[in-house]
Amino acid sequence: MLDLLLSSEVAEARVDRRPVVALESTIIAHGLPYPQNLEVAQELEATVRDAGAVPATIAVVDGRPCIGLAAATLEKLAKDGRSFRKAGATDLGVMMATGKNAATTVSATAVLAARAGIRVFATGGIGGVHRGDSLDVSNDLTTLAKTPIAIVSAGAKAILDLPRTLEMLETLGVLTIGYRTDEFPAFYTVRSGLRLEHFAGTPTDLANILHKHWDDLGNTGGVLVANPIPAEASLDERLITRAIDDALASAVSHGITGKALTPHLLAHLAEATGGGSVRANRALAKNNAKVAAELALAYTPTVEGRLTQRTLLSPYPN
């Protein structure tokens, strides 16, 4: 039996059958310095609430998966982030068995959210196929392929090989839907030149697709909702391309690979863009949280003003 600890807010939402949106914790513990990371975490949760849904920031605390964090725990995660391991889906069992603290990546958050019955998850960008080495593929993709959750993101992180990432999503059978775009977003920029076969224009359109995909057809894999960064927050394409090339060259020269690669690249980009990449990341993450909340509301139909539990929240695992 998976022992999930629900925050009081999430527990109440489950009883009241209100929609919940999952949020990852790696961006808090390892993505930004304190107190900026705490401000972003609080901003994302507030964005979900303002749109009418309930936020559930997910982490592992003392070996126990937490679905939604109390204010004190959220601050501890932000202040003492280095004491929280960075855990992907395959690391969860070890973190739980050894009683460790862990910040959850996209893959780990997706797994725990799905086990809690949450169907919508907002993040900045997913992992994918790294440039130059086709064998270096993020576990985010394989986890999404087998986990029934909709991830709203600004595509995959721009430091990755976006064409091969999109091809891998197709190979794995992950339904990818552009939200108000027919082009796969490039994280920091609106466009990538990669066309998408499917797109939707409203949260209701997205929700109808999810109902058909999961409820009617019985698919058990995830869905990627590709939501572009707001145009006013988009970075200059030439600037970010040069910065990424320099960051990748720096990683090669320092022999940085594996889990350490992405944090190194993001830190290099922040410096090269004068903090522009961090501001863009914050803007797109907030936009994704808003769209995810709108989707969660649309996905759960209302009956006499009360939200039903028909599909958003499954019975608590036992």
3-state DSSP assignment of residue 95: helix
- Cα atoms in the 13 Å half-sphere on the side-chain side of 81: 19
What are the start-end ranges of the E strands in 124-241? Answer: 150-153, 175-179, 199-200, 223-226
Beta bridge partners of 56: 22
Q: Is the pTM of this model over 0.85?
A: yes
- Mean pLDDT score across all residues of the chain: 91
Question: What does the pLDDT look like over 167-183, one tens digit per residue?
Answer: 999 999 999 999 999 99
**Which residues carry out catalysis?**
24, 157
3-state DSSP assignment of residue 219: coil
Q: Integer distance in angstroms from the first to the last C-alpha of the chain?
A: 6
For residue 280, CA distances in Å to 21, 133, 187, 269, 274 come to 22, 27, 9, 11, 11
Where helices occur in the chain by DSSP H, the ranges are: 8-16, 26, 36-50, 71-79, 92-97, 106-115, 139-146, 162-171, 203-210, 237-253, 261-272, 276-299
Phi, psi of 59 (to 5 degrees): -155, 170
| From the candidate CATH numbers 3.30.2090.10, 3.40.640.10, 3.40.1790.10, 3.40.50.970, the one assigned to the domain spanning 5-299 | 3.40.1790.10
Q: What is the pLDDT of residue 307?
A: 34
Q: What is the pLDDT of residue 31?
A: 85
Cα distance between residue 120 and residue 149, in whole Å: 6
Cα distance between residue 110 and residue 217, in whole Å: 21
DSSP assignment letter at 215: I
Q: What is the pLDDT of residue 267?
A: 87
Q: What is the pLDDT along the chain (318 residues), one digit of tens a residue?
A: 799 999 999 999 999 999 999 999 999 999 888 999 999 999 999 999 999 999 999 999 999 999 999 999 999 999 999 999 999 999 999 999 999 999 999 999 999 999 999 999 999 999 999 887 667 899 999 999 999 999 999 999 999 999 999 999 999 999 999 999 999 999 999 999 999 999 999 999 999 999 999 999 999 999 999 999 999 999 999 999 999 999 989 988 999 887 777 778 888 899 999 999 999 999 999 999 999 999 999 997 543 333 333 333 333 332
